[in-house]
Amino acid sequence: MAPFSSLLDFKDTVTLANRLDRLPLAIVIAGAFMRETGTNIAEYLLYYHEYWSELQRQSNPGRQYHQGNMLQTWMISYREIQKRDPNAAELLLLLARFDNRDIWYELVKSGCQSSYVPAWLERATSSGISFKIAVKNLIGFSLLEAKKQGGGYTMHPVVQDWCIHLVNTDQNVNATQLNELALISVGFTVPSSREINYCELQQRLIPHANYVRRESLSGDSFAVWEAYYYLGDLYSDQGKLKEAEEMYQRALAGKEKGLGPDHTSTLNTVGNLGLLYSNQGKLKEAEEIYQRAMAGYEKALGPDHTSTLKTVNNLGNLYRDQGKLKEAEEMYQRALAGKEKALGPDYTSTLKTVGNLGILYSNQGKLKEAEKMYQRALEGFEKALGPDHTSTLNTIDNLGNLYKDQGKLKEAEEMYRRALEGFEKALGPDHSFAVSTVNSLGNLYEDQGKLKEAEELYQRALAGKEKALGQQHTSTLNAVDNLGSLYSDQGKQVELEKINHAGLPGSQAVHLNSSIARRAMERLARKFKNRG
């Protein structure tokens, strides 16, 4: 190989070594090709991605690998596996359609939710033992490796590239079917947020979701549409709103075409898209979507069906966000009465509406009624889902807001800290739930005169909201408001100018300046009142 000093730089060397995962055979073949052709590492990396198969054919691994190049070596192993266990050979090509770092039985088994399950997949996943037998053969030929922890398996990235190359060049392999099976496997493994430990499994699935969604599949498969719908739920729960919208739109396009616009499955996707728009601050679009979903549900299922009531509840949230508190209360009361009758007073969906009523009462200044609702919701969620579930934590966070409004600052801080610790553990520090609690804690510290701590939290909240929600979202604008107003109150004009001129969109700058002016007038009014 060319001397190290002649290579592009150390970064390219590390990149290539990591891409080959330091596989001795792969490194030897890469080095042989570069030596024989005078190719540097940066060029080889480009060739690797663009001309993978040709690159391997041109490589000569040397005497120590007398059996031939990588393609030949792996093809020999693959043909032997085909003879020994045809199910394992087919399974290998499917496993290459997932993220290669963590693959497990239940994930692959979910592919059997497809409308067209191949016989080899049914046999290979008919039981955990059948799957282990198939995987054992792949491990024996070094095409898979068992993870030391977690019970899953990993595939070397170069092996994965070879499998993908084989699928793309072998006319006997149905690449579309493999992509559909992988998508369905991931989608149908997504747990509902109603499950107790849903966050852990959802986070384990995110790398697979990122991998399978790169292939945009179309066709008449209901399982594919439903898989996209579940991926939308996954991304939405994890605060990845842009990705969630893309998945919901794919699901909606398929369902509207294949099932019709008024099918209940189509309406389910419509409703979740409305919830997403609401979280993105697109309130007008959200209301249009909710009205469509509610009209469809009422026609297909009736006004008292739980799907209808779920949409009624979501409309209540929307009206509350729009400041239409009377309309919001009407929606909540209708949803609560219907859910208590259909599901019972302690069902989690019922408790969510109870919590929403608590927020509404708090906004109306009915703090005693709000606390009653929050305590009922908290007790129910802790009993049904446990103390660390996100629904429980959201209620704790809301109690923190209530205690702050009541002037119980010590109790409020305890609630905020408990909620924040739980959100960070379950969802990560950058999730919108965690960032929102950070902002609330900053408000509390500002009220307590802990301005340094408040500033640090406001800065974190602003960065997190810009990343999760975008610069134009109302929640982001409120974070700009908090930080800018804090700087203004402290007379930190330099920091304030940095916010105004550090690339803020015009709408943020206008919002900030008007907010600072408003707060200045409020301070002036308080000053005259105190003098009077």
Residue-wise pLDDT for 394-437, tens only, equals: 999 999 999 999 999 999 999 999 999 999 999 999 998 999 99
User: What's the CA angle centered on 281, arms 275 and 286, to 5 degrees?
Assistant: 40
Cα of 431 vs its chain's centroid, Å:
9
The 10 Å CB-count burial string (b at 16+, else e) for 165-176 is bbbeeeeeeeee
Question: Which residue from 304, 217, 299, 312 is spatially nearest to 266, judged by alpha carbons?
Answer: 299
pLDDT computed for residue 78 by the predictor: 85
pLDDT computed for residue 528 by the predictor: 41
The conformation of residue 190, written as its DSSP 8-state character, comes to P
Compute the distance between CA of residue 12 and CA of residue 40 in angstroms, rounded to an integer: 9
Question: Which residue from 447, 510, 503, 437 is spatially nearest to 475, judged by alpha carbons?
Answer: 437
Question: Which residue from 273, 267, 286 is spatially nearest to 233, judged by alpha carbons?
Answer: 273
Compute the distance between CA of residue 15 and CA of residue 7 in angstroms, rounded to an integer: 13
Q: CB neighbours (10 Å) of residue 129?
A: 9
Q: Which two tokens stand for residue 263?
A: 């099918």
Q: Which two tokens stand for residue 209?
A: 């979701």
pLDDT computed for residue 515 by the predictor: 52
Helices (H), 142-282: 157-169, 175-187, 198-212, 222-237, 241-258, 264-279
How long is the chain? 532
Compute the distance between CA of residue 395 and CA of residue 403 in angstroms, rounded to an integer: 12
Query: What is the chain's alpha carbon radius of gyration, rounded to the nearest angstrom?
Result: 28
pLDDT computed for residue 5 by the predictor: 45
Question: Which residue from 309, 321, 396, 413 is spatially nearest to 360, judged by alpha carbons?
Answer: 321
pLDDT computed for residue 113 by the predictor: 96
The conformation of residue 21, written as its DSSP 8-state character, comes to T
Q: Which two tokens stand for residue 389?
A: 């579930």
Q: Which residues of the chain have pLDDT under 50?
A: 1-8, 63-68, 502-504, 506-512, 516-517, 520-532
Question: Which residue from 228, 208, 210 is spatially nearest to 218, judged by alpha carbons?
Answer: 228
Type and span of the H or E element at 154 = strand 153-154
The conformation of residue 461, written as its DSSP 8-state character, comes to H
Longest Cα–Cα distance of the chain, Å, equals 97
Bridge partners (DSSP) listed for residue 146? 153
Contacts of residues 334-338 at CB distance under 8 Å and 24 or more positions apart, as own/partner, are 334/309, 335/309, 335/310, 338/304, 338/306, 338/308, 338/309, 338/312
Q: CB neighbours (10 Å) of residue 7?
A: 18
